[in-house]
Chain A
Amino acid sequence: MFFTTIASILAIAVLGLNLQWGNTGLFNGGVVAFFGAGAYGTLLLGGTPQADHIGGFDLFYPLALIGGAAAAGILAWVVGRLTLHLRHDYLAIATFGVAVTFENVMRNAQGLSGGAKGLRGFTRPLEAWVNDGFIYNVLFLTVVVVLLICTYWFLERLICSPYGRQLRAIREDETAARSLGKNPGAIRLTAFITGSCILGLAGGLYATFYAFVSPQDVLPTLTFQLWAMLIVGGAGNNRGAIFGTFLIWGAWTASGWSLARFAPVEVQLYTGTMQFILIGLVIVGMLMWRPQGLLPERLVVSQSGTKKLN
């Protein structure tokens, strides 16, 4: 239950990442910053007022969630405006920097984010009304799965639309796309912002589930995990993204559990270290031996009636 909820939330995030990287070819090195913006945004907007930091506007929950996603979108707009017209590695470096800075600011800005202690004082929506932990978790999972399906459906529609074709056209050959009168800069920016909003949505749900967020939740580790999920599943394929999420999150949970269960105590200190090596090996290994992922991108022929390519 717990596992499925978290995996579904992460799957939403990986779908957002897939729009950026898989479909548009944008490298986001700071996934956690957008995820975290959504998480902090949601809790600040939807939480109860606190003495020691701003926020706690006690907004109606769906509004808070949308606000969180919007916060991620605004962050993406700022970063995108500065870097999307440059070489692709600038975007990688800048987004990586955003993630480091975001974590740093959240850790230090007591008045904004509660600092290293994190944000508390958030009551999960309808929790008092349901009044039963198990049923509440079932309900929460249902909502998350519904949102996951909505995101999936939205993205599937999007990549089949003329807009989706533009994204792939830019990814494959920017000059050709430009010669057809498309504006790669603007299209990239919208794709980057849309993907980041989805990441923010996932972050908001994640924070809601725990009713708590701290700088510990926005460490770069999460970025690597989400990437591994997308790379294993198959960049450019939404089903692959979801499949990869469940697979990697399952492997992560299982390896953590078995190390904690069977490994001697002195080794357990290094559980995280060993898990990171595994994730690193998975990323490098997949890129070397099966760069298209387990479920590769299918060639979409979005206009019926035209001749099939290849």
Chain B
Amino acid sequence: MIQSLTDGILVGAIVSLGAIGLTMVMHMLRFANFSHAELLSIGAYSALVFDALFAGILPSLANNIGPLSMTWALILSMLCAMGVTGLSAVLINEFVFKRIREKGSELSMVFASFGVAMIIRNVLGLIFGLKSQLYSNDIVFAVMVSSEPQLLIKPDQVFVLLAALLIMLVLHFVLSRTTFGYALRAVAENPSLAEVTGIRLSRIIALVWIISGLLAAAAGVFYGLNNHINPVIGRDLVLPIFAATIVGGIGSVFGAVLGGFIVGIAANMALLVLPSGYSPAVPFLIILVLLLVRPHGLFGEAET
């Protein structure tokens, strides 16, 4: 019970990071981006490449930090991977979504996002192989925090949770204390009015994509650290991330954070009563319940 809760909080932190980016993009561009979860894969894999690179150049970086399986090389790689993923997100927007938005409807963009997701997922599979990979082959043993009720926590999990919370805090300050944050909210409220006041729409949109890429890459690395990296990370996470955005209400960053934790915890708790084979279906059940009870999400506003 308490073990499921703890694991759920951790999964929730990862889902939250993914959901923040998705909810921002969905709010700003008004389409359901099914390729968002693939950004997590891009992040996870590029960190894998950078990790090997850094460990090769400076072997001393490849030592574990304290009790973690995390190395300095991996932390550096994560930062680089965040850059790569942010850049990929902007490029995907520039080459695909922007052009389709100029031509067709929001619906075409949803279709296109499925196509993009498929291309990214399978190109990654082609480059890195379909097998699962790990950042570190060392086995990190979980620490028993209490035996009755049983609770095992890996040091990595604590690190991931703290890092995720730190990233969210930084984002909160960026959004609530900077001119960029104001501009962003202005654009989300009313794009044309925001343009009249001198905000460059295309720049804000590009920045939103970068932020969502940065967060997705962090989520991808954290996911890879706790599970393993394979080309279908995106496929496995797309539904939980969507569930989190819907629970939180599209457009609400706080909602996405809370939604992520709700989805993570609920998915782990559900395994106490459901056979584990059913776990991929749990996010969908959450979506259904929410649409019945509160169709616009916890913090969302009804849109016309």
Contacts and interface: CB of A to CB of B under 8 A. Distances in A.
Interface of A: 21, 25, 27, 29, 82-83, 86-90, 92-94, 96-98, 100-101, 104-105, 107-108, 220, 224, 227, 231, 269-270, 273-274, 276-277, 279-284, 287-288, 291
Nearest to A272: B122
Interface string B268-297: 000000010110110111011001100100
Contacts of A291: 100, 103-104, 108
B73 to A, nearest CB: 29
B278 A105 contact: yes
A94 B180 CA distance: 33
A273 B125 contact: yes
B109 to A, nearest CB: 8
Interface string B103-126: 110111011101111110111011
A93 B100 CA distance: 20
Given A25-B107, A100-B280, A274-B126, A83 B118 contact: no
B242 interface: yes
Contact of B287 (A97, A274, A283, A288): A97
Interface residues of B, number: 49
Contacts of A279: 115, 118
A174 to B, nearest CB: 10
Interface centre among B106, B235, B243 (most CB of A within 10 A): B106
Nearest to B277: A108
Interface stretch (B26-34, B59-67, B213-221): B26-34
Contact of B284 (A98, A227, A231): A98
A92 B115 contact: no
B130 interface: yes
B288 A287 contact: no
Contact of B278 (A96, A104, A273): A104
Interface of B: 26, 30-32, 34, 96, 99-100, 103-104, 106-108, 110-112, 114-119, 121-123, 125-126, 130, 235, 238-239, 242-243, 246, 250, 275, 277-278, 280-281, 283-285, 287-288, 291-292, 295, 303
Contacts of A270: 125-126, 130
Please list the 4 inter-chain residue pairs (A to B) with the smallest Cβ-Cβ separation, ordered nearest first.
A283-B115, A97-B284, A89-B32, A280-B118
A83 B115 contact: no
Given A100-B239, A276-B122, A105 B281 contact: yes
B30 to A, nearest CB: 8
A93 B122 contact: no
A91 B67 CA distance: 45
Nearest to B295: A86
A269 B125 CA distance: 11
A224 B114 contact: yes
A296 to B, nearest CB: 13
A88 B107 contact: yes
Most buried by B among A21, A107, A291: A291
B115 A284 contact: yes
A293 to B, nearest CB: 11
A187 B108 CA distance: 22
B99 A288 contact: yes
Contacts of B130: 269-270, 273
Task: Report whether over half of chain B's contact residues are helix, strand or loop; otherwise say mixed.
Answer: helix
Contacts of A274: 122, 126
A287 B239 contact: no
A100 B284 contact: yes
A194 to B, nearest CB: 19
B100 A82 contact: no
26 contacts: A27-B107, A82-B288, A86-B291, A86-B295, A93-B287, A96-B238, A96-B239, A96-B242, A97-B243, A98-B284, A100-B239, A101-B281, A101-B284, A104-B280, A224-B114, A227-B111, A276-B122, A277-B118, A277-B119, A277-B123, A277-B126, A280-B122, A283-B114, A287-B103, A288-B112, A291-B104
B111 A287 contact: yes
A90 B99 CA distance: 23
Given A86-B291, A101-B284, A104-B280, A96 B118 contact: no
A82 B291 contact: yes
Contacts of A283: 111-112, 114-115, 118
B116 A280 contact: yes
Interface hub of B26, B34, B281, B292 (most chain A Cβ within 10 A): B281
Nearest to B108: A287
B100 A288 contact: yes
Contacts of A93: 32, 242, 246, 287
Contacts of B285: 101
Contacts of A100: 239, 280-281, 284
A107 B277 contact: yes
A276 B234 CA distance: 15
B284 A280 contact: no
A88 B106 contact: yes
Q: Which of A21, A25, A88, A227 has the most CB of B within 10 A?
A: A88
A59 to B, nearest CB: 29
